[in-house]
Amino acid sequence: MGTDRAVLERFLRECGRESLVATVTERLEPFFLKAETGAYALAPSSEVAEVRAAGIIAAAIGSPVAAVETLSVSAMLSGMTRGERARHLTASGVTIKDGLWLRLMREHADASGGVAQALYPPFHRALGSGLRAAFERSLRPAIGGLSWMGMTTSLGDVLTLGAWNGLEEAILYWAASVIMDDASRAERLASLLELMASAVPLCESDGRPGTWLMLSG
């Protein structure tokens, strides 16, 4: 699936925010490139600054984050069977109740004033469809198809969807904040987008409050 920057640019002009076209497209350029290449490459764990990531996530969700623990996609693919990956993720405390997308929604949905919802269709056409395809193609092999607690829906399906929702919410709420001239909120979310271009926060670890789990390369 391709991308179409013109769709997003047209939405901004129709909102009377033509001056923001360069700001929005430049911030989202790393994600346009991922969609266009069809690969959502992540940085190796050794290159992820976990302390800085903790501060970025905390600012974005409006809650303290004591630590970040990376889960290496390459290590899971090269060194673990499917069953071992499921046990590894479960032992790390992966959960759906404290996923990034839920925290972002609680923190930013009301403040978006409906702009994020209005932005969804042009975002989907301009970038979202292609980016989601690249995201799932790159991450599903590591976290997909994993049985979890006897549920009919696999842990991998829940994780992949939840991780994507977190990225999508971050982009939409950031863009809405920019459009609404909410500079403080936009800055908080811009740092999260910068992080998410190379690593993907998943959730707060179940049983380890304050520790967030994040996918790395």
The pTM assigned to this predicted structure is 0.92
Domain that holds residue 72: 5-216
Coarse DSSP helix, strand, coil percentages of the chain, rounded to the nearest 5 percent = 65, 10, 25
Number of domains in the chain: 1
**pLDDT tens per residue across span 25-57:** 999 999 999 999 999 999 999 999 999 999 999
Helix axes 155-179, 115-123, angle to 10 degrees: 110
State yes or no: pLDDT of 89 exceeds 60. Answer: yes
Q: State how far the Cα of 177 lies from the Cα of 174, in Å rounded to an integer.
A: 5
> Phi and psi (nearest 5°) for 214?
-140, 135
Q: State how far the Cα of 160 lies from the Cα of 173, in Å rounded to an integer.
A: 20
Q: State how far the Cα of 203 lies from the Cα of 211, in Å rounded to an integer.
A: 9
At residue 146 the predicted structure's pLDDT band, cuts being 50, 70 and 90, is low
